[in-house]
Amino acid sequence: MDNIMKLCDQVRETSYAVHTYHGNGYLEKVYENALVNRLRKTGLSVQQQHSITIDDEDGTVIGEYFADIIVNGTLLVELKACKSISNEHKAQLLHYLKATGIEHGLLINFGSYKFEIQKFIQTQE
C-alpha cells in the first residue's frame, strides 16, 4: 500500500506541475501528452490510451473504451479538461477500474482555473 501511495503522490505532483506550466484552456490530449512525457522521464512505465474491453456475462465483448493513462500497471489515471469534475466522470473512472481489475485510480481535471484531482479505490470482489 505504501508504494501505491508514493506513486499517487508522484503523479499528483507531476500533474500539478503540468497544470502550473500549461494553465487551463487546452484540449485534454495536450495535458495527456505532457503528463505522459514527464512521467516517462522519471523512469515510470506508462501506457497511454490503453484498451479496455467490456464483456457481457457470457464473455461476449460488448464494448471497448480507452483508459487515458496506466502507470506501472497499478494506477489508472483518467484526465479531463472541463469546467469541473462531474458524477459521470467519477462513474467512468470506477467502471474503468472494475473492467481492468486495477484498484487505484486518479481523476484529474486540467480544464478549470483551479487544479482538481480525486483519488479512488475500487476493491475487486
Q: What is the number of domains present in the chain?
A: 1
The residue-averaged pLDDT of 99-107 equals: 96
In this prediction, residue 9 carries a pLDDT of 98
Is the C-alpha dihedral spanning 32, 108, 18, 111 positive or negative? positive
In this prediction, residue 1 carries a pLDDT of 65
Among candidate residues 61, 42, 44, 39, the one with its CA nearest the CA of residue 52: 61
Report percent pLDDT > 90 for the chain: 95
Among candidate residues 21, 14, 16, the one with its CA nearest the CA of residue 37: 14
For residue 8, is pLDDT > 80?
A: yes
Domain of 37?
A: 2-121
**Residue appearing with cell numbers 465483448:** 61
CATH code for position 101: 3.90.320.10
pLDDT digits (tens, 9 = 90+) for 38-49: 999 999 999 999
Instruction: Say what the pTM is.
Output: 0.94
